[in-house]
Structure 1
Amino acid sequence: MHLHLHLQTAVQQDYLSVFHAFDEQLFRKLAPPYPRLKLLRFDGSEVGDVVEVELQTGIKAFRWTSLITEREITDKAAWFVDEGQEVPPPLRSWRHKHLVTQHGSGAIIHDIIDYGTGYKALDVLLYPFMLAAFGMRGPVYKKVFQQL
C-alpha cells in the first residue's frame, strides 16, 4: 500500500531553467524547519547520484539516503526521480518525482510523492504531515523562480 501526493506550483521561469536549478543550494532552501536536515552527501540529480541527509529531531537522528533512478528531458518537460534506499521510520518506501512542465512562458513544478509504511492507517495519518512539509515548498519555489 502506498499513498500518493501530487503538489503543483506555477512559477515565472521556463521549465529548463527551473529544472537545471535543482541543485544543492535549492535543496537547502527547500528543507523544512523541522526536523532539521543535515546534508551529508549531495551528488546531484543524474541517474546513480546519491543524496544523503540526517533528520535531526532533537531526540534522535535518522539517516535518509536516496538514489536518483530516473532523469529525462523532453521538449515540454523534465524530471528526475529519487527513491529512498534508507528511509527513517515509520517509512518503508519512498519515491519522489521532481517534474517541471512547460506552462506558457513559465513552468509548473510538480512534487509527486509515493510513500508507504506498510500500514494503511499509518500512511493516512502521515498524509497531513507530508502535505504540510512539501506544501511549504510552494512559496520557496515562487520566490526563487520569480521573473528574471
Structure 2
Amino acid sequence: MRVILRTAVAPPPAVVMAGFTRELFLALAPPFPKLRLVRFDGCRTGDQVEIELDTLVTKLRWTSLITDAGVQPDGTHYFVDEGQVLPPPLRYWRHRHLLAPGPRGGCVIVDDLEYRTGFAALDAVLYPAMWAQFAWRQPIYRRWFNKQ
C-alpha cells in the first residue's frame, strides 16, 4: 500500500535537508504510540534509526536503515529509509523522503511511503492510520522550517 503526502515550506531543499535532525525526528513523533528514540545516526546512506514504540500493552522495536541518499539533477535532495526490524503487523516498510524545489521557490517535502503486512485487506484497513500519522507531520514541517 502506498501513501504520498506533500508539504510546501519556504526554505530551499538543501536547507530543509540539513534540518532533518534528531530534534526534528522527535518533533514529528505522533502522540501515540509513545516513541523512545534509541538511535539516530542521521540521514545518509548506511545510517540507522532505532525506536521503541510503547503501545501501553507492550514495547515494540523498529529499526530502519538509510539505504539511499543524495541529490538528483533537478536539485531534489532525498533519502530512503527501509525497515529492518518492524513491529507487527508490518512486514515491509520503505519511506522515500523527497525534498524537491518548489514551483515558486522554497521546497516541497514529499513523504512517499510504501508498507505491507502480507495481507492486502489489512493493508487497506491500516491506510487511514498510516495517512494520519504522516498528515500529522505537515503542520510540524511548516512550523519547523518556516521559522528559519
Same fold (TM over 0.5): yes
Contact 1:96–1:114, Cα closer than 8 Å, also in 2 = yes
Aligned match of 2:134? 134
In 2, Cα distance between equivalents of 1:8 and 1:36? 25
Output the aligned Cα RMSD.
Answer: 0.9
Work out whether 1:146 is the aligned partner of 2:141.
Answer: no
Unaligned runs of 5+ in 1: none
In 1, Cα distance between equivalents of 2:106 and 2:112? 19
Percent identity over paired residues: 47
CA displacement 1:65-91 (0-9 Å, x = unmatched): 000000011342000000000000000
In 2, Cα distance between equivalents of 1:25 and 1:119? 35
Aligned match of 1:73? 71
In 1, Cα distance between equivalents of 2:41 and 2:123? 29
- SS, match of residue 128 in structure 2: helix
Q: Which amino acid in structure 1 is aligned with residue 3 of structure 2?
A: L
Size of the alignment, in residue pairs? 146
In 1, Cα distance between equivalents of 2:20 and 2:147? 17
Contact 1:13–1:147, Cα closer than 8 Å, also in 2 = no
Offset of residue 147 of structure 1: 5.4
- SS, match of residue 87 in structure 2: coil
What TM-score results when the alignment is normalised by the length of structure 2?
A: 0.96
In 2, Cα distance between equivalents of 1:8 and 1:16? 17
Equivalent residue in structure 1 for 2:16, among 13, 18, 33: 18
Equivalent residue in structure 2 for 1:45, among 14, 19, 43: 43
In 1, Cα distance between equivalents of 2:134 and 2:54? 18
